[in-house]
Each structure stands twice: as C-alpha cells, then as structure tokens.
Amino acid sequence: MNAPHDMTTTPMTTTSPSFPSRLPNVGTTIFTVMSALAVEKDAVNLGQGFPDFDCDPRIVEAVSNAMRDGHNQYPPMAGVAPLRQAISDKISSLYGRRYDATTEITVTAGATQALLTAILCAVHPGDEVIVVEPTYDSYLPSIELAGGKPVFVTLEAPDYAIPFDRLAAAITPKTRMILINTPHNPTGTVWRADDMKKLEEIVRGTNVLILSDEVYEHMVYDGAPHESVARYPELAQRSFVVSSFGKTYHVTGWKVGYVAAPAPLTAEFRKVHQFNVFTVNTPMQLGLAHYMQDPGPYLDLPAFYQKKRDFFRAGLEGTRFKLLPCTGTYFQCVDYSAISDMPEAGFAQWLTSEIGVAAIPVSAFYREPHESGVVRFCFAKKEETLATALERLARL
C-alpha cells in the first residue's frame, strides 16, 4: 500500500507579492480629491474640466446609426478611413497643411493616450524632455514611464508668458522633445504667431521633436486664431499634433482623439499605438466622421465658450477675486490674495467645504511646491450652474 499523504499544510500567505513601483511619486490626483470633496459638501464643481450639459443629439444619433448598421467589429488599427479623411480635411482647411489620411493621421483613445504613445515611441531612457509648467498632470508620468528626464521651464503669474530665453537655454545634446500646450491648461493663455516663430528659431538645426497638445484648439477668444504648429512648416515636420473630440464636441467620456504627424513620425507612433490600445471603438469613429461633415459645431465653438467666459468673468468682477487673463480654454484663473493667505490647496478645500464652490489649486500643476495664490475654475457649465457658483463666491 502507498504511504498515506502528509496532511501537514503550509500556512497560506495573506499578502500580495511586492515589486518596485514604476510611478513611485504618483498618488491620488487633485482632480479626484476635489471632485470627491465637492460631492461630499454638495458644492458646485468648477474644478474638474468637463461640461455639465449635453452634447448635440445629432452626434449621438450618428453613433447609434453606425451601431444599428452593424459597424461593431474591429476597425483598422489607425482608425476608420472616413474619420481620418475628415480630420485631414479639417486641418487643411483651418491651418493650411495637408496631412495624408492614410500615413499621417491616427485616431486614439483620447488625447491622454495620444500623449503617452507619442512620448513612449520617441523618448528613450536618459533622454531629456522640456516641459513648460504649470503642466497637465499626465505629462510627467508619461515621461517617467519612458525613462526620460523632464526639464522644466516655469511660467509665472499673472501673465504666464513663455520665457523663450530660458527655453532655448534648456536645450542640450540630450534633448529629445519639447512638450507644448496651447491653449494652455491650467492658465488659459495661448501661443501667438510670434511665439511660434521664436520656437522655430530655437529648434532650427536641431534634432528636437515637438509634442503639441492642442486639445483646446477651438477655444481661442476675441477673434484670435489658434496658432497650431501645423501652420508652420518647420515646426510641423518635427511635430506630433494632438487634439480631442471629447473637448470639441462635449463628449469627454467618449475618449476619442487623434494625432497628426509626418509619415516617419506616424510610423513610429503606430508601432506603440498598436500594442497600447490597438484601435478605437468603431461606431463612435463612424459617427464622428459623419458629424464632421458639418464644420459648424467646431467653427462656432469659440463664440459658444466666449459667451460663457464673459458671463463668468462679469460675475467674478463683483467678487474679491482678481481676474487673470483668459484668452483660451474653458478655464479661468483667479488670484485670491485679497481674500486669504492660505496655501492654494488649503484655500481650494476651504472654498469647497465652506463656500460650496470647488476649484483646483494651480500649485498642483507644478512638480515642486509653487505658491502664487491662484486657483482655477472651469466655466464649461450651464449658465445656471455658473450663476449659482457666482452667487456663493460673491459672499466672500
């Protein structure tokens, strides 16, 4: 007979295996913290940047029609042809550069994925990436995941002007990329033609790439044009240009964006893209392609948001906040130094808890502690939402 089995058992572990974090400095974002606090305190949430109004029913119908027509399987990796052609036509019409729809346009799962993929495809361990701060919160983790080193060029309140002398001085033989954002989140500033020409001069004769985050391209005010890098041949030939349908068409939850870049850059981008997300859902792509046949919605967007900006700024004029310039995006920054000397994060939490209006501290957009006494409001809201917020802020 076989010997009986040893019934001795090894105690089961109650902990998961440990491993070094790829992003050891990343925790819960300020947007998550402030949005949760806004819900807890029943505050008007002017913190996180999303609309509280519906999109055009026609775009929902276009997506629904695509689903009903059976377009529910994988699309091509780079995106459906009609949408890539519509994007190419739009860029050509607005900025005068024709990107080839087959080899130079890629549809992405939102702008954040586009930014990460562009960085992963180009930045190698030890490469330097120049970042203009305050900066959108996905940039630095993306650079870190690629093994790159961020090099900071810092903007200062109240005008947040680009210090081009410091930008030029930041370029070294290790510089792989400059990451720019216009219109700029969180400051609401925009690059002008002279700024783009200065950037051309700085990178001329170098091997530096440009990653241009232009998700707010259709939110430039007071009759000014959006100065896309696509307008400037010297910049366009070295640039990944990123934009977002979520921002443009009030559908942030759809997470659809795109990248335009010269064919050699696009080929490298797609090598990473195909193993990152592979592709983006089919019916939304076809719905967007159909909706883009009418350019009116994006051509009318500057006036749509300028009306909200002007309403919100007029209301803030009656408060103790000092208005900073807002020439683009749907964000308004304000100086609160006449109200409080609290640090920005503390003031934003107090404002949410005690006044009932959520804002984002601009200090959260800097890597190192940086206090300017400035918070950011989002005015992509219904007029009644903004009116409620203004009524509460007027009590300060």
**Residue 292, both tokens:** 């883009």
Tens digit of each residue's pLDDT (9 = 90 or more) over 122-172: 999 999 999 999 999 999 999 999 999 999 999 999 999 999 999 999 999
Other Cβ atoms within 10 Å of 250 Cβ, number: 21
Q: Would you say residue 369 has pLDDT above 90? A: no
Percent of the chain with pLDDT over 90: 92
Give the residue-averaged pLDDT of 83-91. Answer: 98
**Confidence band for 9, pLDDT divided at 50, 70 and 90:** low
Picking from 266, 294, 322, the residue at the C-terminal end of a domain is 294
- Residue 359 vs residues 9, 312, 375: alpha-carbon distances, Å: 56, 14, 6
Mean pLDDT of the chain: 95
Tens digit of each residue's pLDDT (9 = 90 or more) over 326-336: 999 999 999 99
DSSP 293-317: TS-HHHHSHHHHHHHHHHHHHHHHT
Q: Would you say residue 4 has pLDDT above 70? A: no
Q: Would you say residue 223 has pLDDT above 90? A: yes
- Residue 306 vs residues 73, 89, 226, 266, 328: alpha-carbon distances, Å: 39, 25, 14, 34, 9
CATH number for the domain harbouring residue 375: 3.90.1150.10
Q: How many separate domains does the chain show? A: 2
pLDDT of residue 25: 87
Picking from 294, 309, 325, the residue at the C-terminal end of a domain is 294
Is 234 found in the same domain as 110? yes
Q: Would you say residue 185 has pLDDT above 70? A: yes
Is 281 found in the same domain as 318? no
Structural domain range at position 107: 58-294
Strands (E) located in 7-117: 44-45, 105-108
| Cβ 329 vs Cβ 50: under 8 Å | no
**What is the dihedral sign for C-alpha 155, 160, 161, 162?**
positive
**Could you give the CA distance from residue 219 to residue 167 in angstroms, rounded to a whole number?**
25
Is 177 found in the same domain as 93? yes
pTM of the entire predicted model: 0.94
**Could you give the CA distance from residue 48 to residue 331 in angstroms, rounded to a whole number?**
10
Is 205 found in the same domain as 237? yes
**Confidence band for 2, pLDDT divided at 50, 70 and 90:** low
Q: Would you say residue 219 has pLDDT above 70? A: yes
